[in-house]
Amino acid sequence: MSKKKSNLTRRGFLKRAAVLAAAPTIVPATALGLGGSVPPSERIILGGIGIGNRGSHDLRWMLPDKDVQFVATCDPQKSRAEAVKNLIDTRYGNKDCKIYRSTPEFLAERTDIDAVLVTTGDRWHALASIMAMRAGKDVYSEKPSAMTVAEGRAVVETAKRYRRIYQTGTQRLSEGNFTFCNEMLRLGRLGEVHTVRAHIAPWDAAEMRHDWLPAQPLPPKDEVDWDAWLGPCPWRPYNAAYCRGGWRGFYDFHTSCIGEWGAHTFASCQVAIGAEKTAAVEYQYVPNESGDGMVTKFANGIKMILQRTGWRGSCGVKYEGTEGWVAAADGYSQPDVSNPAMLDDFKKLVGDYMARTQRPMSHVRDFLDCVKSRHQAVADPEVMHYSMTTVHVANICMWLKRDLKYDPAKEKFVNDPQADRFLSRAMREPWII
């Protein structure tokens, strides 16, 4: 420590203090909400868990909203966490985005965070969402949002117990073309609807792999925390391909080709037919590897058919009634319709829906609005759970290679203990619900 004597006397100190006290205080305009900015009291403080390619898309979708401030990211992979930090620091022009490697530490330490964006692989969606809600955070979770019926039920009960807002990333529930199709059905414009068709992914299989990739040398924990990456899944040898998305198609990590797009399309279909708080009750096995052509039936008598083809884009739906049909998929400039005159009311139907529900045609904006209003999001925990239940039961039907009957109220199969065994999976400690 320097021994140099200060030249500042007591009288000099008091004089300087008086000058500083008389000077005007400069408060940044952003702190007052001026210049189009949002004051801190109105901002949603956001953090992220497992943000990779899809998560970066969601994050870039949220960041332009002026009432969002992203402050921290958590990821067992150092490279991904640093990529997010670089994105955020560049946007805000500072170095403030903090990196965490441990999800429990992240959630416990950041009491300032209001909401969490969960965009891990399938295996972590439900657990990370539950941990975040228990820590008092609202959650936007990518799909498929649960690996089993039991996980989905746990998300529902956690959101209810902790009074959290939860949105699953089935964004087509907040897009104009799909909303128009849903409204046409709801308003009876299609007559009596008897069949809906749901697009499933045209790659991989319903019968997933039960082996694992060859072991490779485990990287330093600072680079990849492999135990945390696996989370609740069984221990498997490290292979770098998993961390690059190569986990798809494996039973330990994935929800199959049915879950890949069915998470979207089943939710759209079930909301449209008024079955958003239930699941299909009958499932007819089809002897192929994907489930293409499977007929499922709801208690209201409407059939939902799983299809790999029939649309020009991805994640398509089609609703068929006695007076006509409508269909939509990603990339459509407007819905396909059986009669072009149906499109005359496109803007009116979408506008009426927005006025009636007070929801925007933006899935993330709907979530952010609900964080503030505390109203349930359009893809709330039950919408997620019951559409994912139909996904899971369709998978089980394919695995057992026989027709199944399911009771959505009891969340059990009808007199089928063997099928009931697939409704949950063991979770590896300490990564348990």
Residue 4: per-residue pLDDT: 39
- Signed CA dihedral, 234, 259, 284, 188: sign only: positive
The C-alpha atoms of residue 325 and residue 374 are separated, in whole angstroms, by 36
The encoded tokens of residue 332 equal: 């459509």
| DSSP bridge partners of 21 | none
What 8-state DSSP symbol labels residue 414? T
Domains 33-171 and 172-207+254-423 share a fold: no
Axis-axis angle for helices 256-272, 176-186 (nearest 10): 50
* Position 364, amino acid: V
Q: pTM for the complete prediction?
A: 0.91
The C-alpha atoms of residue 117 and residue 62 are separated, in whole angstroms, by 10
CATH class name, domain 172-207+254-423: alpha beta
**Percentage of the chain with pLDDT > 90?**
90
Pairing of strands 115-118, 44-49: parallel
CATH number, span 33-171: 3.40.50.720
What would the pLDDT profile of 328-366 be if each residue is shown by its tens digit? 999 999 999 999 999 999 999 999 999 999 999 999 999
Better-scored residue on pLDDT, 16 or 327: 327
Q: 366, 174 in Cβ contact below 8 A?
A: yes
Going by pLDDT thresholds of 50, 70 and 90, the confidence category of residue 33 is low
The C-alpha atoms of residue 159 and residue 30 are separated, in whole angstroms, by 33
DSSP reduced 3-state for 169: coil
Domain boundaries, the chain: 33-171, 172-207+254-423
9-14 mean pLDDT: 45
pLDDT at residue 423 tops 70: yes
Q: Which residue is it, tokens 């009596």? A: 192
Q: Which residue is it, tokens 């670089």? A: 86
Residue 37: per-residue pLDDT: 67
Q: Which residue is it, tokens 């399309």? A: 265
Mean pLDDT of the chain: 93
DSSP reduced 3-state for 372: helix
Helices (H), 282-420: 346-357, 363-373, 381-400, 417-420
The C-alpha atoms of residue 308 and residue 202 are separated, in whole angstroms, by 5
What would the pLDDT profile of 368-391 be if each residue is shown by its tens digit? 999 999 999 999 999 999 999 999
pLDDT at residue 7 tops 60: no
The C-alpha atoms of residue 200 and residue 182 are separated, in whole angstroms, by 19
pLDDT at residue 26 tops 60: no
Going by pLDDT thresholds of 50, 70 and 90, the confidence category of residue 225 is very high
The encoded tokens of residue 69 equal: 């401030």
The C-alpha atoms of residue 335 and residue 315 are separated, in whole angstroms, by 13
pLDDT at residue 40 tops 60: yes
Q: Which residue is it, tokens 């300490």? A: 430
144-152 mean pLDDT: 98
Spatial neighbors of 300 by CB under 8 A, at least 6 apart, are 273, 274, 275
pLDDT at residue 51 tops 90: yes
Q: 34, 43 in Cβ contact below 8 A?
A: no
Q: 59, 48 in Cβ contact below 8 A?
A: yes
Give Dmax (Cα) for the chain.
94
323-327 mean pLDDT: 98
Q: 272, 173 in Cβ contact below 8 A?
A: no
Residue 223: per-residue pLDDT: 98
- Distance, CA of 124 to chain centre: 11
Residue 81: per-residue pLDDT: 98
Pairing of strands 404-407, 282-284: antiparallel
Start-to-end CA span in the chain (Å): 53
Better-scored residue on pLDDT, 7 or 399: 399
